[in-house]
Amino acid sequence: MEWTVGWWQVSVQRVYPTNSELAKTYNQAAGWWHQHLQILGYGRAYRQLWRSLRKGGYLPHGTEHKNICDCGIGTAAFSLAFAQTLNPNVNIVGIDLSLEMLKTAQVKLAKGHIQHQLCQSDVRTLTFENSVFDAVISAHMLEHLPKPKEGLKEMFRVLRPGAPLILVVTRSGILGSLIQWHWGNRCFSPNELVTLMKEAGFSNLNVIPFPLGLARFTSSAHIGFRP
């Protein structure tokens, strides 16, 4: 944004946290983050979202082991909801910048007897081979990227053909702006994210409504497939 005041031109440009700054912020939050999500109803909302995806026929059928990458796994709330709701035999490969978040995720997944491997990594430079995952999932990570399409392209790359990406992001609005002010992230309108996913190569895109509750007003869910 730019303004002209008299003989001066004033501009304001959004600045995103560096990886180290972001990791530090979430390291400090790791001790209370999981409980915070449960109190605000995100655990229940995530479980209901997975049920809606299954009931709506958006997810591939089958009970076989699934190899799933959770980008920005945090304390594993989104992965736990998947395992508890759809498939306890899933194998979760979780990445996050925050080592303390990963430590908490390790405890939560082990307690739930969910097979997993965790690593500290940046979604924009995933170390995995092409086309290795049956699904990629991510909750409230993409909005921290200065150029979200970079992350979307990497998630596209590691998916098998025909496999889904399931995203949850902070949505534009009054509550989203409050979250944005505190955490330094961005917000997406559903149309904006659909456009970004198309540009990254995804097809068969859908926006999935959250159940009634706080998460419905702060978040939007999206699914797309690698052709």
pLDDT at 1 > cutoff 60: no
Going by C-alpha positions, the residue among 17, 144, 157 that lies closest to residue 72 is 144
Mean pLDDT across 50-62: 84
Q: Residue ranges of the domains in the chain?
A: 16-225
Confidence of residue 15 (pLDDT cuts 50, 70, 90): low
pLDDT at 178 > cutoff 90: no
pLDDT computed for residue 64 by the predictor: 53
87 backbone φψ class: left, alpha, beta (φ>0; ψ -120 to 50): beta
Q: Where are the beta strands (DSSP E) in the chain?
A: 2-5, 8-11, 67-71, 91-96, 115-120, 135-139, 164-170, 203-208, 219-225
pLDDT computed for residue 3 by the predictor: 62
pLDDT computed for residue 62 by the predictor: 54
pLDDT computed for residue 200 by the predictor: 98
**106-144 per-position pLDDT tens digit:** 999 999 999 999 999 999 999 999 999 999 999 999 998
**Residues 44, 81 contacting (CB under 8 angstroms):** no
CB burial readout 44-66, b (16+ within 10 A) else e = ebbbbbbeebeeeeebeeeeeeb
CATH number 3.40.50.150 is the correct assignment for the domain at 16-225: yes
**Residues 77, 43 contacting (CB under 8 angstroms):** yes
Taking the C-alpha atoms of residue 99 and residue 114, their distance in angstroms, rounded to an integer, is: 19
Confidence of residue 81 (pLDDT cuts 50, 70, 90): very high
Higher pLDDT, 86 or 218: 86
pLDDT at 192 > cutoff 70: yes
Higher pLDDT, 207 or 25: 207
- Edge-to-edge order in the sheet of strand 115-120: 115-120, 91-96, 67-71, 135-139, 164-170, 219-225, 203-208
SS3 state of residue 120? strand
pLDDT at 190 > cutoff 60: yes
Across the chain, what does the average pLDDT equal? 87
Q: Distance between the two ends of the chain, CA-based, in angstroms?
A: 37
Q: What is the identity of the amino acid at 148?
A: P
pLDDT at 63 > cutoff 50: no
Widest pairwise Cα distance in the chain? 67
Q: How far is CA 111 from CA 35, 67, 76, 181, in A?
A: 15, 19, 12, 34
